[in-house]
């Protein structure tokens, strides 16, 4: 058992290669390989995360589940996923990200297959809660990769380019599940993503590696002479105790709390648009199931463009400051929600444009708040910091499940949209104080 568990320990540091030409060649090769591997891996995580979302119409029709019951499953998933994201973040900062990410992907694939074999609400709740837990194994390893393989002045661009992986996954899954609903039923819409993700886990084990130092390369800050805290460059490679990791750089960090609470309200909006828009279009605007899912897929295309725009603009136009871009995109969330709400029935092009703009606006802060949390904590606490704000965010996602479903059931879609606009405004107000903040140094004398 000890031998099996040892593969999850951080990969050991080996002696540094002295040949600069060799270092350059290896860094160029491995940075590309790490990037495309975690890109594909995280896109596949979304196959098994959103399979239920787009199977909901079929499940509802076959098993006679109402909105509040479907919302319960969404809330259970969000709570277990958010909790796992925090716990997994703490573990991931002291684990081998290569195996940690692959294990989660394999497990979530198995659970999707089991979900497709089930029919009771109780079994759905158990399995979807378990799925939420293993889904939490995806983000923290990626945060670790991004902090160790890409440096501060370029990280916004790399992080945003990676972040669109889940837009790709979430764009493809409604077509996969929608096609399954149309031709062979919702159960196939759970089986297919599950099998694909089990195979994808093997791909991750083959392709990924933990840190540059585990391959004999210098750390990324030394290689690019690009230190986040230029006054204390050595601090970025300092090993952290559990206390320092959790308390000094995360739980006692006011910036992390501010980012986390703003993230909560961003995630209410993000999850609501993702999970309820297809149903809104089918009920209110008489879309077909495949047509409604197709429009929702544009949310991910807008998110792809918005994520890349947010990351690159923060690097190129704001000198790696994340605050201004987060605030501007939060303002865009308010405008996009109002626009989509005001589109009357019968204007499919405007519906599509509204969903695209919602994705563009929401995925800017969805991505960049994570970057800010990693940079405002510590390089070696990046997974913990992003996992912690992810935990808070998924409280917001849980609120977009049963509570928002209940609001919609009792107050109609008008109550739904007023809730989303209010959440967008609150997130904007919380992000404004971080406009000029770029890093936080913890006094070592404490």
Quick: pLDDT tens for 27-82.
999 999 999 999 999 999 988 988 887 777 778 777 877 767 877 887 788 789 88
Residue holding tokens 């904590």?
A: 377
Determine if residue 368 is left, alpha or beta; phi over 0 gives left, psi from -120 to 50 gives alpha, anything else beta: alpha
pLDDT tens by residue, 275-320: 888 888 888 887 877 677 778 878 888 988 998 899 889 888 888 7
Mean pLDDT over 218-231 rounds to 78
Q: 426 CB contacts (<8 Å, ≥6 apart)?
A: 262, 265
pLDDT tens by residue, 228-258: 655 555 555 556 566 666 667 778 788 899 9
**Residue 296 CB-density burial (10 A; 0-12 exposed, 13-18 middle, 19+ buried):** buried
Given CA atoms 8, 383, 39, 297 in this order, what sign does their dihedral have?
Answer: positive
Which stretches of 227-253 are DSSP H helices? 242-243
**Three-state SS for 96?**
coil
What pLDDT shows up at residue 200? Answer: 97
pLDDT tens by residue, 354-380: 999 999 999 999 889 988 888 887 767
**8 Å CB contact between 143 and 386:** yes
| Rounded (10°) angle between helices 188-207 and 20-49 | 170
What pLDDT shows up at residue 216? Answer: 94
Q: 349 CB contacts (<8 Å, ≥6 apart)?
A: none
List the domains of the chain with CATH numbers. Answer: 36-212+244-434 (1.20.1250.20)
Q: Is the pLDDT of residue 215 over 70?
A: yes
Count CA atoms closer than 13 A to 170's CA, side-chain side: 25
Looking at mean pLDDT, say which of 320-329, 352-361, 375-384 comes out highest.
Answer: 352-361
Per the model's pLDDT, the better-predicted residue between 384 and 337 turns out to be 337
């Amino acid at each position: 058992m000890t031998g099996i568990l040892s593969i999850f320990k951080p990969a050991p540091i080996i002696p540094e290669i002295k040949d600069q030409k060799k270092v350059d060649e290896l860094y160029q090769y491995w940075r590309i390989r790490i990037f495309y591997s975690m890109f594909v891996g995280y896109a596949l995580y979304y196959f098994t995360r959103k399979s239920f979302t787009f199977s909901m119409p079929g499940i509802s029709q076959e098993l006679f589940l109402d909105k509040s019951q479907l919302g319960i499953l969404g809330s259970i998933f969000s709570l277990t996923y958010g909790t796992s994201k925090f716990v997994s973040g703490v573990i991931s900062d002291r684990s081998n990200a290569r195996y940690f990410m692959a294990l989660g992907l394999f497990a979530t694939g198995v659970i999707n297959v089991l979900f497709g074999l089930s029919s009771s609400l109780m079994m759905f709740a158990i399995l979807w809660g378990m799925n939420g837990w293993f889904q939490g194994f995806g983000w923290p390893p990626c945060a670790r990769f991004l902090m160790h393989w890409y440096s501060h002045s370029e990280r916004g661009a790399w992080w945003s380019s990676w972040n669109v992986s889940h837009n790709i996954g979430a764009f493809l899954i409604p077509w996969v599940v929608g096609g399954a609903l149309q031709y062979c039923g919702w159960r196939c819409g759970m089986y297919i993503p599950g099998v694909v993700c089990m195979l994808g886990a093997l791909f991750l084990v083959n392709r990924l590696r933990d840190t540059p130092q585990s391959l004999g390369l210098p750390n990324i800050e030394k290689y690019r002479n690009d230190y986040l805290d230029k006054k204390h460059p050595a601090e970025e490679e300092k090993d952290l105790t559990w206390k320092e990791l959790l308390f000094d750089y995360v739980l006692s960090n006011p910036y992390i709390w501010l980012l986390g609470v703003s993230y909560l309200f961003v995630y209410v909006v993000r999850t609501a648009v993702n999970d309820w828009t297809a149903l809104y279009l089918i009920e209110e605007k008489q879309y077909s199931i495949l047509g409604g899912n197709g429009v929702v897929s544009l949310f991910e295309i807008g998110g792809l463009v918005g994520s890349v725009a947010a990351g690159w603009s923060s690097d190129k136009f704001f000198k790696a400051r994340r605050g201004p871009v987060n605030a501007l995109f939060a303002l865009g969330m308010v405008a996009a929600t109002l626009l989509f709400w005001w589109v009357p029935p019968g204007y499919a092009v405007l519906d599509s444009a509204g969903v695209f703009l919602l994705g563009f606006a929401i995925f800017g802060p969805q991505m960049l708040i994570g970057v800010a949390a990693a940079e405002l904590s510590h390089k070696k606490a990046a997974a913990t910091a992003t996992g912690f704000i992810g935990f808070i965010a998924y409280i917001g996602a849980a609120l977009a499940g049963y509570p928002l479903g209940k609001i919609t059931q009792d107050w109609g879609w008008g109550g739904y949209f007023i809730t989303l606009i209010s959440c967008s405004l609150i997130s904007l107000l919380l992000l404004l104080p971080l406009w000029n903040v770029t890093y936080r140094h913890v006094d070592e004398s404490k």
